[in-house]
Amino acid sequence: MASPFVRLVLAEALSARGLVVVHLSHPAENPATLRVLVADLEALGPHAADEVSRRRHAGTAVLVFGRKGQETALRALARLGARTGERSAFLLAFPDLLATALDEPVSGRPRKR
């Protein structure tokens, strides 16, 4: 679970892009289509790859951060289309990662604005 500081940094960047922040206790709990999912790798649990694949297939931009030592799992999620990074670097780059993720097409479709 991300700390309150991490949540604040993420919420500020999301709000600056005009996005409404919805907190989920687990990313899979809300089947509704999301424009973007930002998650701590640990919060995704043992089925992280399935969740990333499901969300990407639905057209959701997925951004996942993890702690040092989780590079292999983060790279695997990146191969599925998620934007990933180690937490400190991810937070520093988050506004740019978010902008890029929201602007990239999914399955050949342009992103809705």
Residue 39: give its domain's CATH number. 3.40.50.2300
What is the pairing mode between strands 36-40 and 83-86? unpaired
Give the pLDDT confidence score for residue 108 in this predicted structure.
42
| Number of domains into which the chain is organized | 1
Domain range holding 12?
Answer: 4-103
Residue 38 lies in a domain: yes
111, part of any domain:
no
Residue 112 forms part of a structural domain: no
User: Is residue 33 situated within a structural domain?
Assistant: yes
Kindly state whether residue 110 falls inside one of the protein's structural domains. no
Report the chain's terminal Cα–Cα distance, integer Å: 29
What is the pLDDT at residue 112? 45
Question: How much is the pTM?
Answer: 0.84
Angle of the 4-16 helix axis to the 87-103 helix axis, nearest 10: 20
- Residue matched to tokens 């400190």: 88
pLDDT in tens, the chain (113 residues): 578 888 898 999 999 888 888 877 776 666 567 889 999 999 898 999 999 999 999 889 999 999 999 999 999 999 999 999 999 999 999 999 999 988 865 444 444 44
Q: Is residue 30 part of a domain?
A: yes
